[in-house]
A and B are shown apart, each in its own frame.
Chain A
Amino acid sequence: MTLFLDILSWACIVTGGVFCLLSGIGLVRLPDVFTRMHAASLADTLGAGLVLLGLVLQAGVGADLVGIKLILILVFLLFTSPVATHALAHAALLDGLVPWSRDGHAPKARLASEDPDEDGFLADTRDDRSAAEAETDALPSPVGTEAR
């Protein structure tokens, strides 16, 4: 039984490490921010998941808190990495980066960013930005918080 658990944990750790390495190769070789984000999320889900699962199999969920801490790390990574990736993609799209495509034309399907009425956050951000730019043009007036 111990041998079986060792072999299983070894397979999990090495497979997770290989997924991490694939994600690193994708991070270097892919052409665009969004595709690189796709590669980086591979390490966040499969790489970290398999490595931590292998280590949990090593430690066991016992009296010492090692296994529970590993599971906590895994759960926390699974919650935070999609949030960070979504915020990154949103910021990159809002900044005007065009997603890469093979034929050089931008893809027709965009996010809701082109229609501010359907996305309240985007509408607010654009209002804030235009208010800030209008203020930069007219520097001496200290009032300008009507965008809030």
Chain B
Amino acid sequence: MITTGCLLVLMTLALALLRAVRGPTVYDRIVAVNAFGTMTVLLLVLLGFLTDRPEFQDIALLYALINFAGTIAVLKFVKYSNLAGPSAAADHRPRSEGDRIS
């Protein structure tokens, strides 16, 4: 029965990857990557039960944390072209004006 759950989660992973490749806007890709991360957490937990390795739950817990932080970080980078925020971008501009993306 855990194998059935694994297969369903794997199909969802493939669909989310399809959306991440095809997505017209960058927000589509971020939604798809976020869903992909959630499905990865579920797949890790299911695999931990399938192969009888309880340490996979620790990895899944850590992955859930990293997934959230990564989504917020990518959003902030898309919004400001800089992980430090808008005013820090203004501080960096006189030195590296050619490096700015937008």
A residues lining the B interface (CB < 8 Å)? 9-10, 13-14, 16-18, 20-21, 23-25, 27-28, 33, 36-37, 40, 43-44, 47-48, 51-52, 54-55, 58-59, 64, 66, 69-70, 72-73, 76-77, 80-81, 83-85, 87-88, 91-92, 94-95, 97, 125, 128-129, 131-132, 135-136, 139, 142, 144-145, 147-148
Contact = CB atoms under 8 A, between A and B. Distances in A.
B61 A69 contact: yes
Instruction: Kindly state the interface size class of chain B when it binds its partner.
Output: 35 or more
Interface of B: 1-2, 4-5, 7-9, 11-16, 18-19, 25, 27-28, 30-32, 34-35, 38-39, 41-42, 45-46, 49, 54, 57-58, 60-61, 64-65, 67-68, 71-72, 75, 78-79, 86-87, 89-91, 93-94, 97
A91 B71 contact: no
Contact of A25 (B15, B71, B97): B15
Given A44-B38, A58-B49, A17 B90 contact: no
A22 B45 CA distance: 20
Nearest to A76: B64
Contacts, number: 164
B60 to A, nearest CB: 6
A55 B46 CA distance: 8
A17 B4 contact: yes
Nearest to B14: A24
A73 B43 CA distance: 13
